[in-house]
Amino acid sequence: MTKRLLLVAACALVDADGRVLISQRPEGKALAGLWEFPGGKLEPGERPEETLIRELHEELGIEVKEECLAPLTFASHGYEDFTLLMPLWICRRWKGTPHGREGQAVKWVLPKKLRDYPMPPADEPLIPMLIDMIPAR
């Protein structure tokens, strides 16, 4: 049987100190407790960038302009019941202070410390990229 495809758009928000925001999946959701780059599922008719801008507002209360999203990579992972395809962006400019609007914990973490936070498998390949891209402090 062909597995269904799940399309998720996600983003590494990077602050002026070179820290990256991660968000903890809440109890009751799949992969609860794991730390992820914020984002979410595409709705019908949405472009991934539109999804990401909507999700960053819904989940974190920030406003992001599309021109501030730089494409970074395209992650994928085969789960038992679906295949996840996840384009990822990096964003250094937004309006507002990101906070967990859906009750989720959020943390700003230096790239070299990201490995201390268990992540879903599709998010993990982003860690070495962020370590390379963001100067160490």
Binding mask 4-33 for ligand C5P (x = CB under 6 A): --x-x-x------------------xxx--
Find the shortest distance in angstroms from Cβ 131 to ligand C5P.
18
Find the shortest distance in angstroms from Cβ 86 to ligand C5P.
6
Integer-rounded Cα Rg, in Å, for the chain is 14
Binding mask 92-131 for ligand C5P (x = CB under 6 A): ----------------------------x-xx--------
Alpha carbon of 130 to those of 7, 71, 105, 109: distances in Å? Answer: 22, 13, 21, 11
**Which residues does the annotation place in the binding site for 8-oxo-dGTP?**
25, 36-39
**Which residues does the annotation place in the binding site?**
25, 36-39, 59
Q: Which stretch binds ligand C5P (CB under 6 A): 37-45, 46-54, 60-68, 100-108?
A: 37-45
Tokens of 91: 């964003």
Nearer to ligand C5P (CB atom), residue 78 or residue 96: 78
* Residues 71, 49: Cα–Cα separation, whole Å: 10
Interface with ligand C5P (CB under 6 A): 6, 8, 10, 29-31, 36-37, 39-41, 84, 120, 122-123
